[in-house]
Structure 1
Amino acid sequence: MPCDTHAIPRSLPDLIRRRALERPEHPALVVGGITVTYRKLLERAASMGSALRSVGVGRGERVAALSGNRIELADLVLGCAWIGAVAVPLNTALRADSIVSALEQAEVQRILVSPECANVVSGFDGTVWVMGEPHVPTAGLNPGCEPEAVDPLDMAAILFTSGTTGIPRGVRCPHAQFLQWGKSVGASLGLTRDDVLYNCLPLFHTNALNAFVQSVWAGSTFVLGQRFSVRNHWSEVREIGATVDYLLGAMVAMLINADPALEDRQHNIRVALAPATPAHLIEPFAKRFGVELVDGFGSTETNLVIGTLPGNRRAGYMGTVMSGYDAAVINDGSAVPDGVPGELVVRTTVAGSCSQGYLGDPIPEPGSWIHTGDRVIRDADGWFRFVDRIKDVIRRRGENISGAEVETVLALHPSISQVAVFPVPSELAEDDVMATAILRPGADFDPISILDFAQQQLPYFALPRYIDIVDSLPLTETGKVQKAPLRERGVGQHTWDSEKSMFRARR
């Protein structure tokens, strides 16, 4: 099948073929000590597609995977795309009933697992392939086959949401959505073919998977790490020569709270995609590490709907609406004035640039509004800033409180390293505000100092009643704080209660 390298790619296989023709010997993917050139990436995708076909996997069939960041996982995603099948990479933190539920949602009959995950799928009554065992579809063992003729709106993958605010749901992601991720985020980061991208987030998540597509779109090199390490991060990116990094807000906080070291600037990273980074950390991070942090709004269900371009960024803002998208801020179904918080709803005017909805739901009509569940503010000049998740809004004594706003203020206190704020039941009905925090090394817990500091920037009703000090916060596999376990644990024996102390907020 001829490939016109000047036309716009229509699918993931189409994109890979173009890059293999343009720069066949350039490194495309590095993972687990294995370096794959663009020529080899094409060969592995075609070979894996052939291997899947040989065991009966057909167009549209859904094949799951449960694995850490291994080359076999990348092979499965590309091999499925090659033959028009659908990859379903699952969160390795899922267990027992959650795994079965996800497989049932996605109507999966076959799953490829790494050896350490094999026991987790013991209750699955479909076909289980264990990586490394005989008779398992593997790239390189079969001659390649021609790619299936794939439509941009055909599903490439089903990705499950993180489940931080509810049960994980499967999202139908078409080829066009991945390609648009590659194009739009690549432009926002200013990617070039000479860049080396480093991402240590799990490949089952939209962040790492789309970073890989961004790299292929730019014709650059993608290095997939194994896991995030505060101690080793800068040495890792230095050793591989990375120029672009991928972080989350929690990771940014961990890095900046670490003791200063000579390695802080001994690297080539110029820019990092770092969604959900608190505004007060952006400039100090750039000053200390020499890295520009880039925010934006995107989700598994959408794309980079709100973002920025190099040379036009604002600390604390996600950006403006990107070309091909619409965004509005609403409350109770009606648009709110600029400067007033409300729910962000978005839509695309480009077919396939957003997902095709959740498994079990009808495919949305073209141009349908997507409710994000995020509370944002749009300024009069069109710049958007994040406030919080709607489900994180705390209702206390008739007042709505933004948990994210309280977190931002508390995180500025010199003794606090990280903090999560959430509602707990109040004796007076509604909620009380609780904060669970990690102290900086060597800092003492002085709750009076913390509240005295906070009340200078927060109204009295937003001040935490309860404060817990912990060694670590529960995180998802992608580094997001899990507030559900914190809410379930609630007030404990060692929780500090302002209403049982000498402290009284000045009103």
Structure 2
Amino acid sequence: MTIEPRQLPAAQRTLPAMLQRQAAEFGQRPLLRVAGRSWSHADAAAAAAIRAGALAQCGVTRGDRVALMSGNRIEFVEAFLGAGWLGAVAVPVNTASMGPQLEYFLANSEARLLVIEADLLQRLHTADLARTALQTIWVIGEATGSWQPPEGIRLVPWPAGAEAIAPAAVQPGDPLAILYTSGTTGPAKGVVCPHAQYFWWGVNSAEVLGVGADDVLCTTLPLFHINALNTFSQAALTGAEVVFESRFSASGFWPSMRASGATVVYLLGAMVPILLAQPEGPGEREHRVRTGLGPGVPAAAGQAFFARTGVRLLEGYGSTETNFAIATAPDSPRGGVMGWLRPGFQARVADADDAELPAGEAGELLLRADEPYAFASGYFNMPEKTVEAWRNLWFHTGDRVLREADGAFRFVDRIKDAIRRRGENISSFEVEQVLLSHPAVAACAVYPVGSELAEDEVMAALVARDGSVIEPAELMRFCESRLPYFAVPRYVDLLDDLPRTENGKVQKYKLRERGVSAATWDRGPGAPRAKG
């Protein structure tokens, strides 16, 4: 008799146990399609055991960090699963990262091995790898450039295979991955995600979406984010199939959904207005998609999307640190809200002293889980940030919400000084550090302003050094080689000084209130995508 995933004992809430269970229960059922490659459910466990053997031959041991920088391709999945099978820790890295960010991720995680796509190797030119613990670089694909690593770091092709090894005796609370989420007043934080958190992400998401063995899950989101990584967990636990597309394309979205046979899709807030801006056509109805996940989609856009496509998107709330704790359902009494609290979680809307506020009053959303290790265990090498976020036994989300009389949670705004653009969290601190490294910039402040797509745009207020002139277009070209494409500011204001408090702290709220004016320089709504 099949046991529902939620009923599995705690010892089964690890990645190796998940892979072994799905191999035994689902066998040759299709599991994965990505970049022209495919696996059955049984193939996943075999691939993990072989890749774990290759990692062990490379000197990777239990607890070691393995950085992964690749697009959506089967090698990424294989390395992620192999690390988990071995008891090592995967460190997915955003493929838009440039040298300074790469250096930080590698140094902070203390990764000994980097798995990187050949086309991305040139990003390492401006990273000082001698400041990291890196020992080996595995290159996926054919390297065409002349870049060579510093002495002491081996550059080798992706190993074709190795002898399969037995899974490590990992525990549910052991770390599976470190996922970097942009900081708000400092560098990005590495979220330590245990095996059981990954398990519960799959269980909760599959329950919300009603995923079953006959479903085909299709995502265009990148594998270095929990959203896409989670789709694999959903499929592994339910016997479904998952298809990873290489990227999101507005014109190609519905053709790819039809070609994949998708029944469940995954969208982020800005993607829906982008799809709705496309010309209407019969292809928006000629598909098998029955439902989708659309966190952050504006209510009006969700309604228009349903009217045009027949696909009702479900709203929800989760973060890299937490889990799918709040969600709507197909039969929810109304939309326009984040949803209702799900089984296994507790939520509180609190004031600045963590005291619970009554319904209808906005405050910070605090969350905690009933099941052990269903949330992240902290920030890697950042104990002070861990204590700050998890104080009083609640995780502090930094989001201002209110709980309505019927228990629905409604998002109000973000408390944290973070920016979210194109589905990516952007650290104002990191953008400011790059701007300040330009010789013409004396002071700056980076903050969010609204956009046409119901998300944030990045705006920078700049003060020039004495005797210097800031040319915004030239400064943005400077940023493009040092920041992910989505973090390069769109708007620039040139000011004589920044508004400050009596003790010199920049008053960003005044800059946000000022917003975009006739004097603001505008780079335009389209941000150039970084190449290779």
TM-score bracket for this pair, using the shorter chain length: 0.7 to 0.9
Other-structure match for 2:359: 338
- Counterpart of 2:401, as a letter, is V
| Partner residue of 1:37 out of 25, 37, 40 | 40
| Partner residue of 2:348 out of 301, 322, 328 | 328
1:143 matched to 2:160? no
Inter-partner Cα distance in structure 2 for 1:241 and 1:287: 21
- Counterpart of 1:239, as a letter, is A
| Partner residue of 2:407 out of 382, 385, 400 | 382
Cα 1:275–1:166 change in 2 (3 A) is farther
C-alpha offsets along residues 477-505 of structure 1, whole Å, 9 cap, x if unaligned?
Answer: 999x7596546687576659xxxxxxxxx
- Counterpart of 1:390, as a letter, is I
| Partner residue of 2:105 out of 83, 88, 102 | 102
Other-structure match for 2:216: 196
Residues 430-445 of structure 1 mapped to structure 2, 5 A cutoff: none
- Counterpart of 2:261, as a letter, is G
Residues 148-159 of structure 1 mapped to structure 2, 5 A cutoff: 148-159=168-179
| Partner residue of 2:15 out of 12, 15, 21 | 12
Match of 1:249, SS?
A: coil
- Counterpart of 2:192, as a letter, is R
Inter-partner Cα distance in structure 2 for 1:4 and 1:180: 13
Other-structure match for 2:437: none
| Partner residue of 1:241 out of 261, 266, 272 | 261
Residue 203 of structure 1 and its aligned partner are, at CA, apart by 0.4
Between 124-133 and 99-108, report the one with greater CA deviation. 124-133
Percent of aligned positions that are identical: 40
TM-score, scaled relative to structure 2 = 0.74
1:359 matched to 2:384? no
Q: Is the 8 A contact 2:314 2:330 kept in 1?
A: no
Inter-partner Cα distance in structure 2 for 1:298 and 1:162: 16
TM-score, scaled relative to structure 1 = 0.77
Gaps of 5+ in 1: 395-402, 426-473, 497-507
Match of 2:272, SS?
A: helix
Gaps of 5+ in 2: 143-154, 420-446, 462-479, 495-514, 522-532
Residue 350 of structure 1 and its aligned partner are, at CA, apart by 1.2
Cα 1:492–1:381 change in 2 (3 A) is closer
Cα 1:16–1:207 change in 2 (3 A) is same
| Partner residue of 2:81 out of 72, 78, 82 | 78
Q: Is the 8 A contact 1:187 1:309 kept in 2?
A: no
Inter-partner Cα distance in structure 1 for 2:487 and 2:312: 27
Q: Is the 8 A contact 2:139 2:156 kept in 1?
A: no
Other-structure match for 1:211: 231
Number of residues of Structure 1 aligned to a counterpart in Structure 2: 428
Task: Indicate the RMSD between aligned Cα atoms, in angstroms.
Answer: 3.2
Residues 239-318 of structure 1 mapped to structure 2, 5 A cutoff: 239-312=259-332, 314-318=334-338
Residue 4 of structure 1 and its aligned partner are, at CA, apart by 13
Other-structure match for 1:124: 129
Match of 2:317, SS?
A: coil
Cα 1:4–1:202 change in 2 (3 A) is closer
Inter-partner Cα distance in structure 2 for 1:382 and 1:478: 39
Inter-partner Cα distance in structure 2 for 1:64 and 1:51: 15
C-alpha offsets along residues 42-76 of structure 1, whole Å, 9 cap, x if unaligned?
Answer: 11111000111112111110010111111111111
Inter-partner Cα distance in structure 2 for 1:393 and 1:87: 25
Q: Is the 8 A contact 2:85 2:167 kept in 1?
A: yes
Other-structure match for 2:395: 370
C-alpha offsets along residues 287-323 of structure 1, whole Å, 9 cap, x if unaligned?
Answer: 1111010111100010011123442363111111112
Cα 1:267–1:494 change in 2 (3 A) is farther
Inter-partner Cα distance in structure 2 for 1:159 and 1:342: 27
Inter-partner Cα distance in structure 2 for 1:341 and 1:250: 25
Match of 2:379, SS?
A: coil
Cα 1:340–1:43 change in 2 (3 A) is same
Inter-partner Cα distance in structure 2 for 1:375 and 1:330: 9
Residue 121 of structure 1 and its aligned partner are, at CA, apart by 2.5
Q: Is the 8 A contact 1:257 1:417 kept in 2?
A: no
